[in-house]
Structure 1
């Protein structure tokens, strides 16, 4: 559970350095929500990971002489994503990110089959949701 201060702080980090998107984990599956935050400050990402979960990876540094190492916190777990979005939506200021977060909270669960199998009609609705989401720029 995030405090109001933590939720507002995290929203600011996501507004500035984060991404709220839909991504495919495997070629044959539908897109699922992901939150990611890139930073050269690993300590910041470790702190956020302690708050909301996820995992941290190191990005490849092709020019270490002039670039700092960079890291990415990725949150893929559905429970962690929904919990995080519920806390931070009121504090998001970037319109695209607020709209995307709200759309996930309002529609994703209703349009997503638990077993990944869809009737043709439900598949069309799921694809329309993905198109609506990805058109938010």
Structure 2
């Protein structure tokens, strides 16, 4: 990824995006996720070509007052970590930059590759999630 692309994506995440931990399924632990909401589908399609995310439509209950809205969700762990690694230096919103740094520094250390948690690792994972959401 070129530095200009990373800085452009960082600006979009700062303005319209979210860096969070989310559950894909009810009984699993949270994983990193980046979302960007916009009424400009062309922008999200461009971002999708760079990030391999998924674009979904948001339900519009008042067509007279509101434009159609869309959300790009990036949930693949490798893609999220790759993207955060490139955009974090350009993030300006403290909360988002601090969350990105925490994910980059700690997420893989508290997440076993096979998904099997020891008691000690599970405690670290829960502490990581708690620290993340306190940012």
TM-score normalised by the shorter chain: which range applies? over 0.9
CA distance in 2, matches of 1:13, 1:103: 20
Within a 5 Å distance, the mapping from 1:1-137 to structure 2 comes to 2-136=1-135
Separation of aligned partners in 1, 2:134 and 2:116: 25
How many residues align structurally? 135
Using the TM superposition, name which of 98-107 and 113-122 deviates more.
Answer: 113-122
Post-superposition offset of 1:52: 1.4
- Cα separation, 2, equivalents of 1:28 and 1:116: 12
Root mean square deviation, CA, Å: 0.6
Structure 1 Cα separation of the partners of residues 25 and 5 of structure 2 = 33
**Shift, 1:115, TM fit:** 2.1
Q: Aligned to 1:117, what secondary structure does the other structure show?
A: coil
Question: Runs of 5+ in structure 2 lacking a partner?
Answer: none
After TM superposition, which residue ranges in structure 1, 4 or more long, deviate above 6 angstroms? Answer: none
1:44 offset after TM fit, Å?
0.1
CA deviations on 1:90-109 (whole Å, 9 max, x unpaired) are 00000000000010000000
Unaligned runs of 5+ in 1: none
C-alpha distance in 2 between matches for 1:48 and 1:63: 27
